[in-house]
Amino acid sequence: MAKPHDRWHISDKLGATRGLVKCGQHSTYPSAKHSVGRQWEARFRDDAGRQCSPTFERQVDAAAALDGSRTDVRRGVHIDPKAGRKLFGVHAAEWLAGQVIDPSSIELMEARMRLYILPTFGELELRAIQPGRIQTWMAGLARRGFAASTIRSARTFLSQALQLAVDDGLIPKNPCRVGKSTKAPATERTRVIPWTPERVAGILQGYK
């Protein structure tokens, strides 16, 4: 397992050279960042050569993240955690602007976004949109009396916008497509009751 960087302490050699006093809590020399922020840092470079350094409370979590990130970089599938900080509302506007379809479909997408999607997700960072949030959102729409077809349509547009975020490398996966928890409600089928011969005859009689 890779070794993460300890932000709170420095080596014994460096500490002794500087004439520092060892930290009584950890029995090693404190750094200038001692007890400031999270202690452990997973340092690595992504596939674009940029320095990445997420921090963690526990050494074991930092080491696991470091191993996973380095593996992802080698495979070319690393996602910069900072990329997911983009607000969904900003991303959705860009997604809508890139649609090349007929005006009526654009109007429908904009209406679904404005009325049903943005009030819940607009101010959230992309990385904060998880399956549980989507499930709660759909349940809320259903409790407010919106038709299953409306909810399915809104969910479809949300999923399409989030898929673009995946394709752009902003988030690792589409939360609308993870498991079955975000499955859209089934559209109710209207039962077709055929007219009786007598009713058909009566209607035809009325046109004579």
Helix 88-97 and helix 148-167, axial crossing angle in degrees, nearest 10: 90
What does pTM read for this prediction?
Answer: 0.59
Give ∠ CA 42-48-49 in degrees, rounded to 5: 55
pLDDT tens, residue by residue, 23-45: 877 788 888 888 888 888 888 77
Other beta carbons within 10 Å of 137:
21
Residue 96 CB-half CA count within 13 A: 21
Among candidate residues 128, 179, 125, 185, the one with its CA nearest the CA of residue 155:
185
* pLDDT surpassing 80 at residue 162: yes
Q: CA nearest 178: which of 133, 139, 131, 126?
A: 131
Matching CATH number, 84-177, of 3.40.50.700, 3.20.20.70, 1.10.150.130, 1.10.1270.20: 1.10.150.130
Q: Write out the residue limits of the CATH 1.10.150.130 domain(s) in the chain.
A: 84-177
Predicted confidence band of residue 108 (pLDDT cuts 50, 70, 90) = very high
Provide the pLDDT for residue 65.
75
Q: If you average pLDDT over every residue of the chain, what do you get?
A: 83
**Residue 201: pLDDT band by 50, 70, 90 thresholds?**
confident
Q: How far is CA 29 from CA 37, 39, 52, 119, in A?
A: 17, 14, 25, 50
